[in-house]
Amino acid sequence: MVVSCPCALALALPAAFASAQSALAKAGVLSFSNDSLVKLAKVDTFIFDKTGTLTQGKITRTADRYFVEDQAHALAIACALERNSLHPLASAFPEPSSLQATNVRLIPGNGICGFIDGKEYRIGSAEFAANAIDDGRLWLGDGEQALASFSLNDNARADAKMTISALQKAGLEVHLLSGDAAVNVDSFAQEVGILHWAARQNPDQKQAYLKALQSQGHSIAMIGDGINDALVLASANVSIAMGSGAAIAQRSADMIICGEKLDRVLAARAVAVKTQQIIKQNLRWALLYNLISIPVTAMGFIHPGFAALGMVTSSLLVSLNALRLRKVSVSQ
């Protein structure tokens, strides 16, 4: 009875998951469930959002163009519309505005609209804001006439290209989904080394893109940060949100990256893969121990004291093996 006590078998999974969660915490990743670790180990495709995820989200204006004489008034309209926006693009309009925008609404994949002095204004894509041809700039207008357009700059995170390269070297597909114009997304994808991308994606289109990959048999990990990413994050096999992102994106995610280091995605995957290896090793050891010890003990070849020692030793080995997860490195 002593030798057959399944302590090692019972500890195989909890010990591994407890060590894995500790390793993730040290790596700066918060995981909400053990199930997400299991799923992350099986992922074969990673999908990234662009702005605020692969980029720093610190957007600046590099060139303004105005199509009205009162340029200051046009800029004040843009600042008023962006004043309470949670999108990273709002950081490009820090100037104070004396104007007050009302009934401000975010139109996912297009931009923002609102009323100022009883007139509707829009800021976003060229077609949405000014019925113009999309050129990659941010446009301000009333839906028909353009007031201004702005060229924006947002640098890639320092570790973005390295993270993408490491995932690809591990045999994983990497995709980029963005609400930005095609010209901007294409240029950025080339910069960080992503071959598969889609531009001007609203939340529904992002979800449809993900589900199309899932229908082909892919297991998807989605990494995003914004309000527009909440839907696709909830639809992924496993989802990871940036700690600096929107609260709704974080609530939709299985994991959260704390801080600004994107390479923590690699650490999370390394821990997930190693956890599955440790679990399999623990289960094999526990089953092998029981298969050998129970028949031998039943035939009277083991003293009860040694049976107790064997039971304790098997449990200790399982626990010590699980502790190896605390030393998992990104390179694994």
Give Dmax over CA atoms of the chain in angstroms.
100
Q: Is 172 exposed, middle or buried (0-12, 13-18, 19+ CB in 10 A)?
A: middle
- DSSP letter, residue 291: H
State whether the Cα torsion 267-273-279-281 is positive or negative.
negative
First to last CA, the chain: 40
- DSSP letter, residue 50: I
Residue type, 133: I
Report DSSP letters for 54-68, one per residue.
Answer: IB----EEEEEEESS
CA distance 243 to 256: 6
CA distance 274 to 324: 9
Active site residues: 49
Q: Is 72 exposed, middle or buried (0-12, 13-18, 19+ CB in 10 A)?
A: exposed
Q: Is 303 exposed, middle or buried (0-12, 13-18, 19+ CB in 10 A)?
A: exposed
| Cα–Cα distances in angstroms (integers) from residue 312 to residues 6, 9, 292, 308, 317, in the given order | 10, 12, 15, 6, 9
Phi, psi of 238 (to 5 degrees): -145, 140
